[in-house]
């Protein structure tokens, strides 16, 4: 198949979260499986400098955006004979110091609607200008939500590629004031409750959910959750209406990057048969983060956005009591200034038991995954999550709230003692999280059982090929739906 993937961020060229990881990994895997794959993404600041093999693609075109005409140029980075990254260049929209926010001010760019309408229109233009006509356009998150509608407006009938819309996090919807409407250059009849209108605003994500041929999201459990009022973020009605078009596919892990045997970041290779290298990683991590060095102290870690969605509030409530014991905690991430302040104050109280690093440091993420004994992921909701899967491969036992992809990827001993590789808690509260941490400490105090959990964790397989096979089924179904005209 000829496949286009369109995303506002793609690892390693641009990244704010798991969206970039997923698109980078699935595109690579689809190409390995023999498909012709083009990934379309904006040309952000610094990409040409960091990837000098990127060249002009010889494709320029004008985009109508309201009353103005904006010029786009496409650059290409060829990866293989059947795989490439196509960067959409527009200095005014994308040559900035952040992807969606001003990095200095920490506020969203006020023209994000125009920026990603422009990008979406460019995706449609590229679809019609590639040498190989795409069979399917796979779209990711709200920034590409208008592509299905723009394709329908440009092509009559079924003379267009099929469209698949993937929801990475339903809470991020791209909702903008109705005065955005002129930039669509579409008739106002689309602004209605059955179309792009959402509580008086224009919703990019809702548009994608309404007009895409098929919808996917990043875990089976999350696919069920988002059709309920509790997790549906006011879009559950739309998703219930399209339930037959919705599929949940668990994200995978790129084991060429996330592994413990050929990883230059780690001080010593290790596997489930010999965990000596994991002990060395713990000592190095403690040393680099200014913690007390002790191979025998249980270390709990957390990596990611410092946001209340991630359950940091209940984690902060339980940590002080545990830190009074032989217990250490490591945190790597950035986000809420309020959370960063609370963690800093906790570090002041327990300077040798807490290691904190604010920001995005890929090498340290690997070292923390390897050096910790347990990984705490108490998310209120979690569409998929990747860090729990990274942790499993590194022999770091995940402690998770049983929602979304956390439910699908972690096996609690109460579910199966034979396959147990983690600890789950189901009611979202500080009290249930504290119980789960105490269970982890009991597990740590039983070396044989701890090794058994680690073996199960490190042999769990979440490679991308299984996920890619499921996406191939969705693509085939999409093409068949388009041909049948249904």
| Class of domain 276-461 (CATH, top level) | alpha beta
Q: How far is the C-alpha of 257 from the C-alpha of 260, rounded, in Å?
A: 9
Q: How far is the C-alpha of 200 from the C-alpha of 183, rounded, in Å?
A: 17
State CA 14 to chain mean position distance.
12
Looking at residue 12, what is its pLDDT? 92
Looking at residue 440, what is its pLDDT? 98
For the whole model, what pTM was predicted?
0.92
φ, ψ for residue 246, nearest 5 deg: -105, 130
What tokens does 314 get? 């209940």
Q: How far is the C-alpha of 20 from the C-alpha of 7, rounded, in Å?
A: 8
Q: What is the pLDDT along the chain (486 residues), one digit of tens a residue?
A: 999 999 999 999 999 888 998 999 999 999 999 999 999 999 999 999 999 999 999 999 999 999 999 999 999 999 999 999 999 999 999 999 999 998 788 789 999 999 999 999 999 999 999 998 999 999 999 999 999 999 999 987 778 999 999 999 999 999 999 999 999 999 999 999 999 999 999 999 999 999 999 999 999 999 999 999 999 999 999 999 999 999 999 999 989 999 999 999 999 999 999 999 999 999 999 999 999 999 999 999 999 889 888 999 999 999 999 999 999 999 999 888 899 999 999 999 999 999 999 988 989 999 999 999 999 999 999 999 999 999 999 999 999 999 999 999 999 999 999 999 999 999 999 999 999 999 999 999 999 999 999 999 999 999 999 999 999 999 999 999 998 876
Q: How far is the C-alpha of 56 from the C-alpha of 77, rounded, in Å?
A: 9
Tell whether the torsion through CA atoms of 309, 310, 316 and 322 is positive or negative. positive
Q: How far is the C-alpha of 192 from the C-alpha of 423, rounded, in Å?
A: 46
Looking at residue 468, what is its pLDDT? 97
What tokens does 182 get? 């002129």
* DSSP 8-state secondary structure symbol assigned to residue 266: S
Beta bridge partner(s), residue 166:
140, 216
What tokens does 153 get? 């407006």
Q: Cite the beta strand spans of 100-196 per DSSP E.
A: 101-102, 107-108, 136-140, 162-167, 175-176
Q: How far is the C-alpha of 299 from the C-alpha of 286, rounded, in Å?
A: 9
What tokens does 172 get? 């991020």
- Taking the CA atoms of residue 153, residue 8, residue 402 and residue 332 in that order, the dihedral angle to the nearest 10 degrees is -170
Looking at residue 425, what is its pLDDT? 98
Looking at residue 485, what is its pLDDT? 75
| Class of domain 2-252+465-484 (CATH, top level) | alpha beta
Asked if 150 and 142 count as a contact pair (C-beta separation under 8 A), the reply is no
State CA 282 to chain mean position distance.
27
Q: Write down the domain spans for the chain.
A: 2-252+465-484, 276-461
């Amino acid at each position: 198949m000829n496949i286009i993937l369109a995303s506002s961020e793609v690892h390693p060229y641009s990244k704010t979260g798991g969206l970039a990881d997923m698109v980078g990994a699935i595109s690579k895997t689809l190409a390995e499986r023999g498909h012709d794959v083009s990934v379309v993404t904006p040309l952000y600041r610094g990409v040409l400098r960091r990837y000098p093999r990127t060249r002009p693609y010889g494709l320029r075109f004008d985009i109508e955006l309201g009353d103005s005409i904006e010029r786009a140029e496409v650059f290409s980075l060829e990866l293989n004979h059947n795989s490439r990254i196509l960067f959409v260049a527009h200095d005014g929209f994308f040559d900035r110091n952040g992807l969606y926010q001003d990095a200095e001010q920490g506020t969203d760019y006020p023209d994000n609607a125009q920026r990603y309408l422009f990008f979406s229109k460019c995706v449609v233009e590229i679809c019609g200008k590639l040498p190989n006509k795409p069979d399917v356009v796979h779209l990711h998150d709200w920034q590409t939500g208008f592509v299905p509608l723009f394709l329908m407006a440009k092509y009559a009938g079924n003379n267009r590629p099929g469209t698949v819309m993937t929801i990475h996090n339903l809470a991020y919807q791209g909702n903008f004031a109705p005065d955005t409407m002129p930039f669509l250059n579409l008739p106002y009849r689309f602004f209605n409750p059955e179309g792009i209108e959402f509580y008086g605003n224009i919703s990019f994500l809702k548009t994608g959910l309404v007009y895409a041929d098929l919808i996917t999201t990043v875990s089976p459990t999350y696919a069920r959750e988002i059709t309920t009022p509790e997790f549906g973020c006011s879009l559950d009605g739309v998703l219930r209406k399209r339930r037959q078009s919705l599929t949940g596919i668990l994200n995978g892990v790129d084991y060429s990057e996330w592994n413990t045997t050929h990883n230059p970041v780690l001080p010593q290779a290790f596997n489930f048969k010999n965990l000596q290298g994991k002990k060395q990683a713990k000592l190095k991590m403690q040393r680099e983060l200014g913690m007390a060095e002790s191979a025998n102290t249980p270390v709990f870690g957390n990596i990611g956005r410092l946001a209340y969605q991630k359950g940091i509030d209940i984690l902060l409530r339980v940590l002080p009591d545990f830190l009074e014991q032989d217990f250490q905690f490591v945190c790597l991430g950035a986000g809420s200034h309020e959370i960063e302040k609370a963690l800093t104050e906790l570090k002041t109280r327990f300077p040798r038991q807490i290691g904190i690093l604010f920001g995005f440091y890929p090498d340290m993420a690997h070292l923390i995954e390897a050096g910790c004994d347990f990984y705490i992921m108490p998310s209120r909701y979690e569409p998929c999550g990747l860090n729990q899967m990274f942790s499993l491969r590194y022999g770091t036992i995940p402690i998770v709230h049983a929602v979304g992809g956390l439910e699908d990827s972690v096996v609690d001993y109460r579910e199966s003692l034979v396959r147990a590789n983690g600890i789950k808690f189901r009611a979202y509260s500080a009290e249930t999280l504290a119980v789960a941490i105490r269970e982890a400490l009991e597990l740590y105090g039983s070396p044989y059982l701890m090794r058994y959990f680690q073996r199960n964790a490190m042999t769990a397989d979440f490679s991308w090929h299984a996920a890619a096979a499921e996406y191939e089924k969705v693509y085939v179904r999409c093409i068949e739906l388009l041909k049948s005209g249904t």
